[in-house]
Amino acid sequence: MSVVDDILGGNEKSAARLITRIENGDTDAYRELAVLFSRSGNAHIIGVTGPAGAGKSTLAGRLAEEMARRGKNVGIIATDPSSLSGKGAFLGDRLRMKGAEERNIFIRSMAHRAFPGGVAKATAAAAYIMEGLGKDCIIMESIGAGQADKDLFFLCDTVITIFTPEYGDDIQLFKAGLMEIGDIIVVNKSDKPGADDALREIGIAVDRSTRSNGWHVPVIPAEAVSGAGLSDLADAVESHRLSIEGKGEAPSRKAEHLEAFLTALLKEELWQRISGRITAHDVFKELSHEVLNGTIDPYSAVHIILERLEREWTSH
Ligand SMILES: Nc1nc2c(ncn2[C@@H]2O[C@H](COP(=O)(O)OP(=O)(O)OP(=O)(O)O)[C@@H](O)[C@H]2O)c(=O)[nH]1
Ligand SMILES: [Mg+2]
């Protein structure tokens, strides 16, 4: 049996191995990925974002359990905020998602490494592979990097933004950025003091922001540890899915998202491929020396480096 057949037959070990090959940049694995991608596009992809420590992992695990109870075949992709592959953080995610793990929900953690959207470069591939396994509901946890997470939308059909009563006015802007991308907002840790105020404040802010597609963003109180509010959240997730489908928006959203993702991936790969050539080039060494000496500013230096490289590369 081929790897693809194995995965289509539900073999999670084969799926995990293929995800690892993609993470490691093994381009031979793209053949298998291409087949799985061509069959993907029907699973409901749910993104979970929010500030550090807001309860994203715990809530993603609980939501997965709730969706599984409702008959969905669920997978989770968690993102490790560290730029190195920190095994400790991976273990932390497992702890937070114990219930989901006990239910044999497929969970994969990935290292972020500064990819846009607060997820890993291989996150989309992991989703195509999970869909190949038969997952029809895939939950992605992002690292909650605020503005950077705005791009999370391009991998997800529904984005859940989590806040907690612990965050004050000082992060209004951060909040606004995250709030903008949330299709659903959760006020987690509702067992903590100030939950009612947070609910009210966020509710007012949400009412002020209108969505062009007429979707009204619900604000849902929850306690991810106990699971309180998770049923309401699952209802909202389903309503959002039906709302996109009902309006026939799904295909155009998918197309828009894929194009944005393609651009992000291209940027990332392009830089990986050429950064070594640039930093090893004499013009880079020369100009960085001058910047360090204070004889030229960094802006002019970058301008000169690019002009020189462009001339050189196009004349070849
Ligand atoms: N009191 C209370 N604590 C919670 C709740 N949900 C999560 N926590 C706790 O908050 C802490 C952080 O939870 P995580 O799920 O790891 O949060 P996270 O947003 O994934 O964290 P990072 O990925 O590190 O940004 C843990 O100690 C959780 O047990 C809740 O509803 N109430
Ligand atoms: Mg987490």
What type of residue is 240? H
Q: Which atom of ligand 1 is nearest to the CA of 89?
A: 24
Tell me the average pLDDT across 297-308: 96
Residue 268 has pLDDT above 90, yes or no: no
The yes-or-no verdict on residue 170 having pLDDT over 50 is: no
DSSP, res 207 = H
Place of tokens 């651009």: 263
pTM for this model (two decimals): 0.88
End-to-end CA distance of the chain: 46
Measured in angstroms, how far is the CA atom of residue 272 from the centroid of ligand 2? 27
| Tokens (6 digits) for 46 | 């749910």
Nearest CA to ligand 1 atom 21: 53
* 98, two tokens: 């114990």
Rounded CA-CA distance 180/210 in Å is: 10
**Percent of the chain clearing pLDDT 70 (strictly above):** 85
Distance 98 CA to ligand 1 centre (A): 13
Instruction: Of 224, 196, 247, 246, give the one whose Cα is nearest residue 64.
Output: 224
Domain ranges of the chain: 41-249, 262-314
What's the pLDDT score for residue 85? 47
**CATH code of the domain made up of 41-249:** 3.40.50.300
> For 15-35, how does the pLDDT look when each residue is reduced to its tens digit (9 = 90+)?
999 999 998 889 999 999 999
Ligand 1 pocket: which of 96, 187, 220, 233 to mutate (most atoms within 8 A of CB): 96
Pocket of ligand 1 (CB under 6 A): 50, 52-58, 96, 144, 188-189, 191-192, 223-225
- Which of 98-112, 239-253, 296-310 holds the top average pLDDT? 296-310
User: Would you place residue 148 in the very low, low, confident or very high pLDDT band (cuts 50, 70, 90)?
Assistant: low
* ∠ CA 167-171-173, rounded to 5°: 140
**Cα 142 to averaged position of ligand 2 atoms, centre (Å):** 8
* Contact between residue 149 and residue 141 where contact means Cβ atoms under 8 Å apart: no
Angle at 107 between CA 101 and CA 109, to 5 degrees: 125
Contacts of 281 (CB under 8 A, 6+ apart): 305, 309
Nearest-atom number in ligand 1 for the CA of 54 is 19
CA of 55 to the centre of ligand 1 (A): 3
Distance 78 CA to ligand 2 centre (A): 7
What number does the ligand 1 atom closest to the CA of 92 have?
A: 16
- The average confidence (pLDDT) of the chain is 87
Percentage of the residues of the chain whose pLDDT score is greater than 90: 53
Q: How far is the CA of 139 from the centre of ligand 1 (A)?
A: 17
Among 34-48, 72-86, 139-153, 155-169, top mean pLDDT goes to 34-48
Q: Which residue has the higher pLDDT, 16 or 146?
A: 16
Nearest CA to ligand 1 atom 12: 53
* 189 Cα–ligand 1 center, Å: 8
Give the closest residue (by CA) to ligand 1 atom 8.
55
Ligand 1 atom closest to Cα of residue 93: 16
Which residue minimizes the CA distance to atom 3 of ligand 1? 189
Higher pLDDT, 61 or 166: 61
| Ramachandran area for residue 162 (φ above 0: left; ψ -120 to 50: alpha; else beta) | beta
Element housing 163 (H / E): strand 158-163
